[in-house]
Structure 1
Amino acid sequence: MEPETTAPIENLTQVATSAIDRFEALANMLIRPWNAYQIAIVIGVFVVAHLLAAMIRPSFHNWLRSRDNWPKWRLRIGLVLHRRIRMILFVALIWITVAVMREITWPSRSYLLAIVANLATAWLLIAFATRLINNGFVRGLVRYGAWAWVTLSILNLTDETRSILDSLAINVGETRFSVWLIVQAIAILTILIAAARFIAHTSTARIRANNEISRSMQELAVKFLQLVLYGSAFFMGLKIVGVDLTGLAVLSGAIGVGLGFGLQKVVSNLVSGVIILLDKSVKPGDVISLGDTFGWINSLGARYVSINTRDGKEYLIPNEDLITGQVVNWSHSNDYVRIDLFFGTAYGDDPHKVREIAINAAANTDRVLNWKKPVCHIVGFGDSSVDYILRFWIKDPVEGLTNIRGNVYLALWDAFQENGISIPFPQREVRMLEGSQLDTRTLD
């Protein structure tokens, strides 16, 4: 057991010693006179680039602000150039300096300048390339990782760095996990997930632009595509770096059994979400009522449905509730909705005239459909009024139901006032029977 324990430590010591020797040789080279001169030249070039950038940047910024007719992508490129103008000038000047030094002196006296020029160029290209990544965290991770790797490659330190990182490892069963393996996994997974994200966004835009596919099927296709792409990127990344997926499969099976008992509601909501997308019972934009909640569907999630109400609230309804509960979909097969209003008039008013006035009042109200004419019927004789029902149709339930009811009631009120139709209200009379007396003490 002792040789197995000390072997990694001895390897790490040898690699570290080699790296230290390499750094010492690099330091000794830097203190030579011509190398010191080259460092001074680099500093001078940087100062010149900084001064030129300070003079050019304001004019370039004002010129960009005047480009009102440019598309947004071109303006974004201009802003990136504006932010990196000092680095661009430095790269241009340092390469000019390298070319001049190689013409007037020996190549060895421009060796450091060439290294700095290569580093600056690589850093600048990486900075431009990583701007294509929208996620800030991923962009920073890729940028700094690429900068580090390019720097080590240009300085010829990749073998030593890889050996050091590979020496720092632990064994879990038959699998060996080293820092180098973890770095590889992070780099490969980042690239694959970024590629999967790009493909998913591009495909999502195309799927949503296809009007021949229903909204619910679009959502199902998008979520299935995202699951396949991200899952494939994850497992492909692990396979590329050499992780044994057999143990992972057994572990995931055991975890799945445990989660099946502990997360029944979550699984039920996930399955219900798939059913909702397949049967197309509800889709984004539908106006639904569930219990006391009335609103339109904003989005369909894997676990819940987002519903926006007219008072600005957003309800997250679990998918299982939409499957097991009674849901009123006002726009399932079409957008036509019939609304019923109840009212009463006095017995002294002509019911034929009341029906005609009510129908005309509803027909002249905004949002009420005229080709589906309103109707009015007597539904009963109440204690103090003749009771009617007024029915009319609208095509835009997403604009609200309470407001159209209020508008039609207001139109009825105005029409009844103009035509002398009275709306009775309950009245009570108190009669004193003969021989009875009023006890005033009860009124005090």
Structure 2
Amino acid sequence: MRETLFRAAQPTGTTPSEELVGQLQDPGLTRRCWEQSLAPTTTAPAVTASTHAATILWPYPAGTADCVDRATCADHFVRANPDYYVVTPLGLAHPDSARLLDGTKVVLFLPFEDAVAELTVAGNHLQMRGRRVDAIISELAPGYLWRHGILDLDPHQPSWPLATHLVNGSLIAAHKGQQAHHFTTYCRQQPGVAALDTIVVTTTEELTDALAQVLGDSRAAVIRPFSASQGTGVTFVDRDELTARGGTDTAGRVVAQISAALARKYGSPEAFPLIVTPFTDPARIDGCVTDLRIFVCYDPASDGLRGLPGMVRRAQLPLDDAGPVTAATAMTNLNAAPAPTAIPGPRFFPATDPRILAVLGLTPDDLVRLCRHATAIWATALQHTAHPDGSGRFAYGSVDFIIRQVDGVAVPVEMNGANVGSHPTVHPRWCHAFGAATTHVLTQLGFAR
């Protein structure tokens, strides 16, 4: 069963340089970050172990190396619970697939694209081929299901209405407008960090007004859609480019562009709500803007969240002070479309490397503080979105920061949950933390004895 997971991961994309990032992380500094970043949390009591043959849906993004990260976490769970069978798209396509699913505990490990046509909602549970799904490991699932017309959801105030457990069920990772609220609340009380001004829009007309407001004070605006990952739909509007084009129907063009991206990736063009923020110029590597990912994992031994330094990513092209802000010059996401003129060389680096810290204007102590901020941001956000039944239990996630070039202040720009990838960029001694956290959550939810 374990090998099945990794065979399923073979057709996906890979990023070979990830191993060089993780293996070049400083183990001593990583340990300091882990040990000194604990943010205690209040967790719900464990649920009585399930007596029926449970089904866990473990989706992954098709065609990317993030599938391997999911496989590693699922492998940790299956190793601890060998009575579970693994069923992949190959198994589902087999004529005897009904027999595979009959009366056995199952981990369904497959892309959403392969599952969505056979997912339904019945009796307040998600179902796959008529079999009840007891848990799903991705808080982007509600967005997928909503866009495909399977789940009735208010994207402006999203909640998870089903009895199927969702990990992480807080939905913070899905709505970047809610993330911005948590950033503002947290950063108001903390020195050394600052939140971006954020506008949530629900119509094209509101987007027009928001762009005018943001571009009055910033060289560019960043627009992000609800419940999307891997940079899908993220769009930049440059002030000078807008002026040169006369600004005619810019908002309509942006909405159409985002809608097309969402339709290609998620099957539905529904764009709103959109989240608009000013572009803030980060510290640069090779003249390219950067961001820094801090992973956050639940630590069962301490009943709290701990931080792990991950990678520093750079954009594909240098950003000139007088040049336009585009996806190629501003987006650090490694799944972004390749820029034809991208500068050569690695695009992501170990955050604990002294040379990288120096380029960002950070010290090792600063990195430890960033890990504390990341865990505290998640802990306070979870406190305000707690579910009494424990359906919002947290396994792992991350916070992406930019280090503002003008003054070195850290700005949190995005929270990712159990959908976040690039786990191999942490030091190898801590790679197990993601799977351990997920297995613990599923155990607490009653899916292991």
Higher helix share: 1
TM interval, short-chain normalised: under 0.3
For the pair shown, which has the larger CA radius of gyration, 1 or 2? 1
The normalised TM-score by structure 1 is 0.19
Which structure's residues are more often strand, by fraction? 2
